[in-house]
Amino acid sequence: MELGEPIYVGKAKSIYKTDKEDELISLFRNDMTAFNGVKKDSFAGKGAYNAAVSAFFFDYLEKNGVKTHFIKMLDDHTMLVKKLDMIPLEVIARNVAAGSIVKKLPFKEGQILNPPVIVTDYKDDERGDPSVNDDLIVALGLVTRDELAEIKEITHKINKLLYDFFDELGLIFVDFKIEFGKCGGEIILGDEISMDSMRLWDKVTKESFDKDVYRFDKGDVMTAYAKVVEKIMNWQKENVK
C-alpha cells in the first residue's frame, strides 16, 4: 500500500491518506519530545517499539470488547488504521499520583488513587492542552454528555484491563493518556497506547519504564522501552497459542 499525502504530522507520528477513503496510515517516527516540544531528540528503533506495543494493546483490547481503529501492521513502524473523526480531547486515567497532578494539586508522589481518577485536556498545542471539565467539553461542542459518559466508561474498562495486565508483568500502571474518535457515529479508541503515553513503574524498585526516563534524564530511555517490549513479548509467547 502506498503512502498518500500527509494529513497530520504530530510530535512522534505522521498520518497519511491511502487509496481507500475509510483507511489511513499511521507512521510511528523515531522522534521524541518532552515539555510540549521544548526538549527534542530522535532514537533509532523508538518508532518500532511504540508501534509494536500499540499494535499489541489494540489487539488485546479488541479481544476484550473494546473497539479500536487498528487494522494491521504494514511493517515494524507503520500501522493501517480506520479513519476516525478525532475528538480533540486527551483522556487521562490516573491510578497513582505522579506528574502534573502532583504539581497542581496537594497529592503526594506515589499516592494511590482509589478509585482511579479520569481527567480531560483540550487537545490544542497553542493553548498548552488546557484541562477542561464536563461542562466546558459540552459547551465547546466536542461531544454530548451521553457521549462523554461513554468515553469515561470505556476509559475505565481500558484502565482495568491494562492495570491487571501490567500487574502480571511486575509493573505498576501509574497513568495513561488515550484519544477517541468517531466512525459512523460510534466512539472508537484511536491514536496509540505506548510508553510515550503512559507511566510504568517497577512494583518493587519504582524504577520508571516510560517517557519520564527521557523527560528527567533518569537513564537510557531506549533500554527502558526495550524492557517493556521484552516483557510484553514474553507474555505473548506464554499466553497466546
Per-residue pLDDT of the chain in tens (241 residues, 90 and over written 9): 667 789 999 999 999 999 999 999 999 999 999 998 889 999 999 999 999 999 999 999 999 999 999 999 999 999 999 999 999 999 999 999 999 999 999 999 999 999 999 999 999 989 989 999 999 999 999 999 999 999 999 999 999 999 999 999 999 999 999 999 999 999 999 999 999 999 999 999 999 999 999 999 999 999 999 999 999 999 999 998 6
The single-letter code of the amino acid at 76 is D
pLDDT (tens digit per residue) in 26-53? 999 999 999 988 899 999 999 999 999 9
What the block records as the C-alpha cell of 171 is 509493573
Burial class (CB in 10 A: 0-12, 13-18, 19+), 51: buried
Distances (CA, A) of 102 to 21, 75, 127, 171: 43, 39, 21, 21
Residues of each domain in the chain carrying CATH 3.30.470.20: 85-219
In the sheet with 186-189, reading across from the earlier edge strand, the strands are 85-86, 180-183, 186-189
Largest CA distance in the chain: 51
Q: Which fold has domain 6-82?
A: Phosphorylase Kinase; domain 1 (3.30.200)
Q: Count CB neighbours of 115 within 10 A.
A: 8
Which CATH architecture fits 85-219? 2-Layer Sandwich (3.30)
- In the chain, where does the domain assigned CATH 3.30.200.20 lie? 6-82
